[in-house]
Structure 1
Amino acid sequence: MNRTHIALLSALGVAAIAVSGCGSDEPDVIAGLESSAPAPAAPGTTDQGAPDAGGGGGPVTSPGTALRIGQRAVVPFKYGSKTGTIAITVTAIEQGDQAAFSARFGARANGMVPYYIRYSIENVGGTDLSSSSAPLLRAIGPDGRSTGVGVIGDLPACERGRATDQFTSAGAKYEACRLQAARQGGEVAGAEYDESEGGYRDSPIVWKK
């Protein structure tokens, strides 16, 4: 099952856990999430990140940039017919509520440990991005690769978030959270942004603890 099918499940409000098979990029039948190689750093960038954009026409963070928790990435953003520039700041990566996770996903949660990726979204370009959904971030392990587990769905303590009607001017902000998971004994050590808008699909922006 490819990313399009995962997006469709998410749009339909389906809660699912996707697990990639060991030694294969082919997903299991529940859903799918391929293991990915560590994101290479773009030439000239460091873990201190690229310059922030000062406005709609300013510079954006280069694909492949490595950041630390608390640093922001500025990226082009598109939601339906709305376009603009936003800043994403990963503020925390924390282990989630195991009991709530198991209650939400049942047997599919067996052997999985939930994690919350918390981040803030800022309207940098000053365009009308009202009612847009938060961009999605994906979990990575200590080796920089995918954890091999994808989660579609939220918990009350970790909801994706959506812009309000006031998210129309530069400086407007809101908070978001992405529910992810690792296999038992594993760890979520970072997050990546790999949307195709802006060229990040093949070279994601990465935040690490």
Structure 2
Amino acid sequence: MSTFSTRRTALAATGVAVAAVLALSGCKSGNEDTGPAKSASPSAAPSQSASQPATNPDPGYSSSASAPATGGGAAPAGAAKAGQQFKIGEQAQFPFTSGSTKGTITLAVTAIEKGQPDDLAPFKLGDKVKGMVPYYIRYQVKNVGTTDLSFTSVGHIKGHLGDGSEAQDLLVIGKFDKCPNDSLPKGFTNGQVTTGCAVALAPSASTTVASAEYWGDPFTLGKGLTWK
């Protein structure tokens, strides 16, 4: 069961600019890449039918690829391996797939920043997120291959709590200034760099999101790349 395949939920037009959906954790088999949800229009909000969780330093970090540019989806020399752990800010290079597009990127989680419970208020999730604290997983992506990766998406990034268990994911639909997460920009060719952000939720103020995992293709959840 893919975590991403459980995240989708219908949106109803009720007049808010941003929406969010909780995403189920713990489904560790499969790695379906459905990509991120498309940005909602200013009239999109969560459907009332989603009554139970469908449970989802700043980008000044600069990097350059240490390995030569590699095209297609072939694993480059020195590619990161499943289960490998990195320090915050450290780059991992690997073959990248988004839909039918294949290339090579470096990815670095640059920060895991604690937010405030009130940050979740615009999503109007009520008791579903009561007591939870958002953490913002900020990351940097560089295209080090020969494929144009314009408009593809680097999803499949989740947080882990201090005890190693999975943090609750929050799938944001629309513009959320505290944690922008758009598709890779137009003209994202070799050497281009951009930043993104994913939201993870700690269940209480006494717990923390201590690490982040990328588990997109060619990796799987629980056997991905980890930063802490």
Q: What secondary structure, in the 3-state scheme, does the structure 2 residue paired with 1:153 have? A: strand
Provide the secondary structure at the position in 2 that maps to 1:8. Answer: coil
Aligned-pair identity (%): 31
- Of 110, 114, 119, which aligns to 1:100? 119
1:161/1:11 CA distance change after superposition, 3 Å: farther
The whole-number CA distance in structure 2 between the counterparts of 1:134 and 1:20 is 18
Instruction: Evaluate the alpha carbon distance shift between residue 111 and residue 118 of structure 1 in structure 2; reply closer, same or farther with a 3 A threshold.
Output: same
1:16 aligns with 2:24: no
Q: 1:95–1:158: structure 2 CA closer, same or farther, 3 Å change rule?
A: same
- Structure 2 matches for 1:150-189, cutoff 5 A? 150-153=169-172, 155-169=176-190, 171-184=191-204, 185-189=206-210
- The structure 1 segments of at least 4 consecutive aligned residues displaced by more than 4 Å after TM superposition are 10-14
Change in 2 beyond 3 A, CA 1:88/1:53: same
Change over 3 Å in CA distance of 1:158–1:178 after alignment to 2:
same
Which string of whole-angstrom CA distances, capped at 9 and with x for unpartnered residues, describes residues 24-46 of structure 1? x9xx942247xxxxxxxxxxxxx
Q: Please give the alpha-carbon distance, in whole angstroms, between the structure 1 residues aligned to 2:10 and 2:95.
A: 22
Inter-CA distance 134–20: structure 2 relative to 1 (3 Å threshold): closer
Contact preservation (8 Å) 1:52, 1:61: no
The DSSP-based 3-state class of the residue aligned with 2:209 is: coil
- Of 35, 40, 55, the residue aligned with 2:69 is 55
- The residue type paired with residue 54 of structure 2 is A
Kept after mapping to 1: 8 A contact 2:3/2:25: no
Does the Cα contact within 8 Å between 2:8 and 2:54 map onto a contact in 1?
Answer: no
> Does the 8 A contact of 2:3 with 2:23 survive in 1?
no
Residue 89 (structure 2) pairs with residue 70 (structure 1): yes
Partner secondary structure for residue 170 of structure 2 = strand
Deviation at 1:145, TM superposition (A): 2.2
Residue 191 of structure 1 and its aligned partner are, at CA, apart by: 0.1
Contact preservation (8 Å) 1:150, 1:181: yes
Q: SS in structure 1 opposite 2:208?
A: coil
Q: Please state how far the C-alpha of 1:55 moved relative to its aligned partner.
A: 2.2
Task: Provide the rounded CA distance (Å) in 2 between the counterparts of 1:188 and 1:52.
Answer: 29
Give aligned pairs, total. Answer: 183
CA contact (8 A) 2:7 2:54 kept: no
Taking a change above 3 Å as real, the CA distance of residues 158 and 103 of structure 1, as seen in their structure-2 partners, is same
Hey, what does 1:5 align to over in structure 2? Answer: 5
Give deviations 1:60-103, integer Å, cap 9, x for gaps.
10111111101011121112221101111111100124322123
Q: What's the CA shift for 1:8?
A: 3.1
* Unaligned ranges ≥5, structure 1: 34-50
- Once superposed, what is the RMSD of the aligned Cα atoms? 2.9
TM-score (norm 2): 0.70
Provide structure 2 residue ranges, at least 5 long, that are not aligned to the other structure. 13-17, 29-50, 57-64
Amino acid at match of 1:146: E
